[in-house]
């Protein structure tokens, strides 16, 4: 018998947690690499990246949130 | 414990070892390819984390020991035959560098040997379909879609950052994500051997039906898969890291994160999926998700063919070995000798063109085709 409910949970958790962790780490990389970076100018508009300080804050918060998701996942498995 | 049971346990641990070196690529191929980790460091790290992962869960082991086949109608000889079929298929696919599924090989070998010995009635097809085949078919697709979406989003978010900083950041992140895949691999794959050994102990009455694996089984399986992983299956690492696509660290991180999520969530619910297929699906997804990427679809097609062949081929090998092993006292000895000879031949052939830690990143010239979604970009 196929347990479609559990399979659906696996699909949703997999896609959701992957996107969440990758987005958060991408934001962390974006923030942490903002140090010393000049604003980028495009032909249409002036786009400024985060400053070094706000970048570090954004990076740190994103990393903590990503780590929390990973640790929660491990805890859920070990606790069962 | 009889000599035969000891022989089956040792053969199961040998399978676990081949499972380890066959699947080192799952965790570490992209990290080695992007330079996030040095090859030797990568496989040693993977080995240690595989060992830790073996202790996280026993849900998959319970699926195998209590669900796939009727333990009252098979013997240790049958399990021995199934393991021999799985080991031979693993060695053959390793020789040609194909990331085929060790799980398919194990299930195929076990099902083939059981079918020949006790008939199709001894196989629990509903469990095989619901807990093994459907998750096996779905998981690489889900991993591929998750990796594709995550890769596209990661490139979009970091598009305005300097590439050097982004590459450095994701390389650092890859150390963690690759470690998580290794941990997940240990959790999912070591349990399969635990399940087989537990099934053997149940068939001879040393454990009650539906028993969980004893601690000594968990420890031995963790050590065997860790040792195999630390040996490094360089041929498959090269295929997965270089021949599908030229992977960047952003893609590697997305692929590894998707693989970890799929493997751990499935293992948590007792689904015995193939970590090889999950990671290959994720690598393909991340390759397709990167703007202006190239995916070598011919290599991907070769892998899919190997995936489709693995279950029936291992079943045929397992059936043959199980039939021979069940033929009197000399049967298991004969099968063991044949296994040793064939393994020796495969090893000697592999030495003609060895792939090592030093040469694993020497890319092979394979024609690349731009992915349709980005071909015009």
Model confidence pLDDT, tens digit, residues B285-307 = 998 888 877 777 887 888 788 88
Touching check for A37 and chain B: CB below 8 Å? yes
Residues 6+ apart with CB under 8 A from B153: A19, A22, A23, A26
pTM: 0.79
Per-residue pLDDT averaged across B104-116, rounded? 89
List, in sequence order, every beta strand (DSSP E) within chain A.
40-41, 46-47
Which one of B131, B155, B257, B277 would you mutate to disrupt binding with A, by most A Cβ within 10 Å of its Cβ? Answer: B257
Q: What is the pLDDT of residues B240-291, one digit of tens each?
A: 777 777 788 899 899 999 999 998 888 777 777 888 889 888 988 998 888 8
Per-residue pLDDT averaged across B355-370, rounded? 57
B341 within some domain? yes
B375 within some domain? no
B372 within some domain? no
B360 within some domain? no
Distance between A54 CA and the closest CA of chain B, angstroms:
15
Q: What is the pLDDT of residues B176-219, one digit of tens each?
A: 998 888 888 888 888 888 988 988 898 888 888 888 889 999 99
Exposed / middle / buried, residue B337 (Cβ in 10 Å: 0-12, 13-18, 19+):
exposed
Helices in chain B by DSSP H: which ranges?
Answer: 3-34, 39-53, 59-67, 76-95, 102-118, 125-127, 134-157, 163-203, 215-231, 234-238, 249-268, 275-289, 297-325, 330-350
- Using the 8-state DSSP alphabet, how is residue B69 labeled? B
Touching check for B226 and chain A: CB below 8 Å? no
- Using the 8-state DSSP alphabet, how is residue B56 labeled? S
Q: Are strands B369-370 and B294-295 parallel, antiparallel or unpaired?
A: antiparallel
- Count structural domains, chain B: 1
Using CA atoms, how far apart are residues B114 and B131, in angstroms rounded to an integer? 18
pLDDT band at B152 (very low <50, low <70, confident <90, very high): very high
Exposure pattern of B107-142 as b/e (b: 16+ CB <10 Å)? bbbbbbbbbbbbeeebbbeebbebbbbbbbebbbeb
Residues 6+ apart with CB under 8 A from B229: B20, B21, B23, B24, B27, B43, B46, B47, B50, B182, B185
Distance between A77 CA and the closest CA of chain B, angstroms:
6
Does the pLDDT of residue B332 top 80, yes or no? yes
Asked if B259 and B150 touch (Cβ cutoff 8 Å), the reply is no
Residue with tokens 């990796």: B147
B20 within some domain? yes
Quote the pLDDT of residue B316: 92
Q: Which domain holds residue B147?
A: 3-354
Quote the pLDDT of residue B360: 63
Enter the tokens of residue B225: 């898969």
B279 within some domain? yes
Report phi then psi at B294, rounded to 5. -125, 130
Count of C-beta atoms within a 10 Å radius of residue A54: 12
Out of A6, A22, A40, the one facing B257 most closely (by C-beta) is A22
Which one of B52, B169, B171, B281 would you mutate to disrupt binding with A, by most A Cβ within 10 Å of its Cβ? Answer: B169
B369 within some domain? no
Between helix B3-34 and helix B76-95 the angle, nearest 10°, is: 30
B362 within some domain? no
Using CA atoms, how far apart are residues B82 and B74, in angstroms rounded to an integer? 11
Exposure pattern of B155-168 as b/e (b: 16+ CB <10 Å)? bebbebbbeebbbb
Asked if A69 and A23 touch (Cβ cutoff 8 Å), the reply is no
């Amino acid at each position: 018998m196929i347990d479609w409910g559990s399979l659906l949970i696996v699909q949703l958790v997999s896609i959701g947690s992957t996107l969440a962790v990758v987005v958060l780490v991408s934001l962390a990389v974006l923030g942490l690499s903002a140090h010393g970076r000049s604003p980028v100018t495009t032909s249409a508009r002036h786009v400024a990246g985060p400053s070094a300080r706000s970048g570090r804050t954004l990076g740190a918060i994103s990393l903590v949130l990503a780590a929390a998701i990973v640790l929660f996942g491990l805890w859920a498995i070990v606790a069962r | 414990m009889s000599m035969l049971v000891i022989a089956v346990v040792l053969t199961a641990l040998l399978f676990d070892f081949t499972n380890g070196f066959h699947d080192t690529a799952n965790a570490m191929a992209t990290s080695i390819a992007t330079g996030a980790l040095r090859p030797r460091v990568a496989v040693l790290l993977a080995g240690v984390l595989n060992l830790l992962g073996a202790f996280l869960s026993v849900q998959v082991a319970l699926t195998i020991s209590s669900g796939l086949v009727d333990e009252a109608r098979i013997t240790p000889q049958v399990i021995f035959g199934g393991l021999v079929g799985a080991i031979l298929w693993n060695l053959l696919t390793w020789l040609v560098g194909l990331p085929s599924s060790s799980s398919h090989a194990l299930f195929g070998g076990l099902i083939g040997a059981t079918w020949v010995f006790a008939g199709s009635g001894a196989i629990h097809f509903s469990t095989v379909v619901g807990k093994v085949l459907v998750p096996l078919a779905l998981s690489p697709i889900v991993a591929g879609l998750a990796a594709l979406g995550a890769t596209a989003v990661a490139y979009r978010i970091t598009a305005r950052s300097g590439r050097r900083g982004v590459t450095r950041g994701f390389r650092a992140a890859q150390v963690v994500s690759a470690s998580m895949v290794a941990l997940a691999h240990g959790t999912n794959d070591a349990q399969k051997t635990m399940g087989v050994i537990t099934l053997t102990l149940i068939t001879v009455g040393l454990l009650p039906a539906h028993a969980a694996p004893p601690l000594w089984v968990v420890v031995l399986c963790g050590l065997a898969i860790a040792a195999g992983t630390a040996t490094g299956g360089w041929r498959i690492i090269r295929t997965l890291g270089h021949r599908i696509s030229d992977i960047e660290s952003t893609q590697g991180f997305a692929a590894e994160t998707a693989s970890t999520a799929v493997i751990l969530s499935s293992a948590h619910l007792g689904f015995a999926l193939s970590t090889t297929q999950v990671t290959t699906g994720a690598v393909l997804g991340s390759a397709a998700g990167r703007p202006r990427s190239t995916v070598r679809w011919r290599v991907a097609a070769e892998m899919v063919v190997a995936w489709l062949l693995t279950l029936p081929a291992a079943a045929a090998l397992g059936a043959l070995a199980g039939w021979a092993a069940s033929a009197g006292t000399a049967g298991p000895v004969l099968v063991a000798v044949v296994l040793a000879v064939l393994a020796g031949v495969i090893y000697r052939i592999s030495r003609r063109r060895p792939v090592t830690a030093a040469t694993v990143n020497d890319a092979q010239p394979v024609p690349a085709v731009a992915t349709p979604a980005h071909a015009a970009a």
